[in-house]
Amino acid sequence: MNDVAQYAVRDGIAVITMNNPPVNGLGNALRAGIMEHLKRAQADPAVKGAVIIGSAKAFSGGADIREFGKPREKPDLFEVNDQQDAMTKPLVAAIGGFALGGGLELALGCHYRIAAPRAQLGLPEVKLGILPGSGGTQRLPRVIPMAEAVQMMTSGSTIPAERAKDLGLVDEIVAGDLLEGAIRFLQAERPIRRVRDMPAKIDGDAEAFFAKVRDDVAKQSRGYPAPLEIVACAAAAATLPFDEGRKVERERFNRLVNTSESKALRHMFFAERQTTKIPGVPEDTPVRQIRKAAVVGAGTMGGGIAMCFANVGIPVTLIDTTQDALDRGLNKIRDNYAATVAKGRLAQSEMDKRMGLVHGSVNLGKAADADIVVEAVFERMDVKKEIFRKLDGIAQQGAILATNTSTLDVDEIAAATARPQDVVGTHFFSPANVMRLLEVVRGEKTAKDVLATTMKLGKTLKKVPVVSGVCDGFIGNRMLEKYGQQSLFLLDEGASPVQIDGALQRFGMAMGPFAMYDMAGNDIGWEIRKRRSKERPDMVYSKAADRICEKGWFGQKTGRGWYRYEKGNRKPIPDPEVDKLLSEYREEIGVKQRKIPDDEIVERCIYALVNEGARILEEGIALRASDIDMVYLTGYGFPPYRGGPMFYADQVGLDKVLASIEKWRAGYQGAQWQPAPLLARLAKEGKRFNP
């Protein structure tokens, strides 16, 4: 007997209780315990049926992620399933909360499933680039219609109990005490109903069905191998005997586990869970209560940030200097919500509720009762300092004073107050109500509880909060500068915006750099360059972008930038005049155009990210390589199947990355390629960024 699986007999029913908090992960000890208790129930003549139930809120969240990468002990879930199938007494799964992945596979190994109304069932393995590897692909389509099974497995989405009941995945919904319900359920005569003996639920022409599904899934899965492998397993469930199908599933599972896509997706899964772990700031650090917020500046960012609060039920006061600016901001929020309502993704009543939480004011004094004030005014140090100085006199004691600055020194802003310990950076990404990344900028004097509270708030706002130290551009934009620098040097040498964007998109970036500049507005970068070239006269950059701006080609908002845009359409159209401007510029700087291979484009841009990422890591600006990966995965459209720039570099091999950088040092603007000392050291030692 072990504690994680408990055994009791009630009214002739064996009760097997999973007790492995927090989610009853099916680790080594729990599987062994379930196995032992199943055998015991089978052998006990006083027992006429058995129930498997979870002690906590979950039935089971599936594999125990704490044991990932560690050796699996026997029995594996396969063997537990075999024991379930060998039972000659009815076996019911009582699902009180989540039954996910291996958890649902365990439930599918039972003869019956009953569930609490709030239960959620799903096979989310596809999200980690794998497939349900313990019979799930074979059992689910024997219990629910094939089309629904394929949909569930290829999307990885969960379904609520009610829907599961409609589909036949759940036999009964129990509103009251679930264990009582399970015992009652088994008191009735329940024939043994082994899922493995059932035929797959598919009507009509299976071949035609799978041909179409393969087509649809191939389109949706865009290069990820797991969804199509899932379809192949489902087809095996429809055409092969159960044990043969299980073999197909096993074989394909083993193949997927070793793909770079799955490794990257699993890295991302763990990386997301790491970001809130901060050395010296334990997870039980007492946090401040955030019941009310204020946002200063009702522009692009301020409006989106206010929506983030309202979306999770936190009342927020939006403050601007003029009624006009405030109204524009409030109207934008209303329009945003209304568009979501029109698409059917938000109920009108929910919109009304959220709008009811947003209050506008032109009086900064209204920030007095906020537990957090987020400043999102113009990116100018004098303006920000003035606001923080005023806020110091207005905000209640203990309130967090946050700035959304993208480039300015948070310590200098904090010094404008007499409470720098309460100041922190909250760098949201545009559109703030959509993008998941939140860089939490830790100032030199930021108090630990302020940091812990802001990280927790990030989670509450459904963001991925990542800690960054203070530096120009923080993690994301500081790296992006190097990426952008290379994209422009590549233009100088002969590539076109179309070629560069195409190469990086084929690598997997959501958008190429030039389409991105056009979207953000080329004038923004221009302003920053003007400021930086004063601050850092030694700064080297291609003037090609300045030439575009001098023409007033600011991007989408002016109808042309690196591309042309038709009215009301965001699709970039290649512009021969840009090509002409570029060839004139090359002549002016005396660079002879050469044909640049796509591989070089990708390597130079991505390794520029990696090299700067290494510096950021070495300087302690980022806490860990995986945090840098999360920044790029959630804020910059880096493809999840590549796991982020640092993980990607690890996969390529740091020695290879270093060799490329050394090579480019001899090339155009080679002085810009100084390998980061950390990269050089790790490469020499044969190590990786991510342990």
Site residues (vs ligand NAD, CB under 6 A): 296-302, 319-321, 325, 376-379, 383, 387, 404-406, 428-430
The answer to whether the CB of 487 falls within 8 A of the CB of 513 is yes
Q: Which of 551, 550, 568 is nearest to 559 (CA)?
A: 568
In angstroms, the CA 95 to CA 51 distance is 10
Say how far apart CA 329 and CA 335 lie, in whole Å: 10
Report residue 381 as tokens: 């140090």
Q: How far is the CB of 485 from ligand NAD (least distance, A)?
A: 20
Give, rounded to a whole angstrom, the gap between the first and last alpha carbons of the chain.
36
Q: What is the 3-state secondary structure (H, E, C) of 11-65?
A: CCEEEEEECCCCCCCCCHHHHHHHHHHHHHHHHCCCCCEEEEEECCCCCECCCCH
The least distance separating ligand NAD from the CB of residue 320, rounded to whole angstroms, comes to 4
Q: What tokens does 427 get? A: 């760098």
In sequence order, what are the beta bridge partners of 427?
Answer: 439
Counting beta carbons within 10 angstroms of the beta carbon of residue 67, is it exposed (0 to 12), middle (13 to 18) or buried (19 or more)?
middle
- Min dist CB 644 to ligand NAD, Å, is 20
Residue 437: φ, ψ to 5° = -75, 140
Q: Which amino acid is at 321?
A: T
Length of the chain: 691
Q: Which of 36, 67, 79, 125 is catalytic?
A: 125
Query: Nearest approach, Cβ of 169 to ligand NAD (angstroms)?
Result: 44
Tell me whether residue 386 is one of the annotated catalytic residues.
Answer: no
- Nearest to ligand NAD of 428, 553 (CB atom): 428
Minimum distance of ligand NAD from residue 427's CB (angstroms):
6
Nearest distance from residue 337's CB to ligand NAD, in Å? 18
Structure tokens at 455: 């990280």
Q: Token match 């917020």: residue?
A: 293
Identify whether the C-beta of residue 294 lies closer than 8 Å to the C-beta of residue 425.
no
CA-wise closest residue to 469 among 602, 631, 287: 631
Closer of 376 and 616 to ligand NAD (Cβ): 376
Nearest to 103 by CA among 83, 88, 117, 119: 119
For residue 284, give the DSSP letter.
T
User: In this complex, which beta carbon is closest to ligand NAD, that of residue 14 or of residue 306?
Assistant: 306
Residue placing its CB nearer to ligand NAD in the complex, 426 or 496: 426
| Residue of 67, 73, 79, 105 marked catalytic | 105
Q: Which is nearer to ligand NAD, 190 or 328 (CB)?
A: 328
Q: What is the DSSP letter of 577?
A: H
Quick one: tokens of 144? 């629910």
CB 61 within 8 A of CB 17: no
Cα(514)–Cα(529) distance, rounded to whole angstroms? Answer: 16
Q: Which is nearer to ligand NAD, 67 or 379 (CB)?
A: 379
The residue with tokens 């590539």 is 495
| Minimum gap (Å) between residue 505 Cβ and ligand NAD | 21
CB of 307 to ligand NAD, least distance (A): 13
For residue 123, the tally of other CB atoms under 10 A from its CB is 29
105 is catalytic: yes
> In the complex, what is the shortest distance from the CB of residue 215 to ligand NAD, in angstroms, rounded to a whole number?
38
Between 112 and 474, CB nearer to ligand NAD: 474
- 28 vs 74: CA distance, rounded Å: 7
DSSP string, 172-192: EE-SS-HHHHHHHHHHS----
Which position's Cβ is nearest ligand NAD? 299
Active site residues: 105, 125
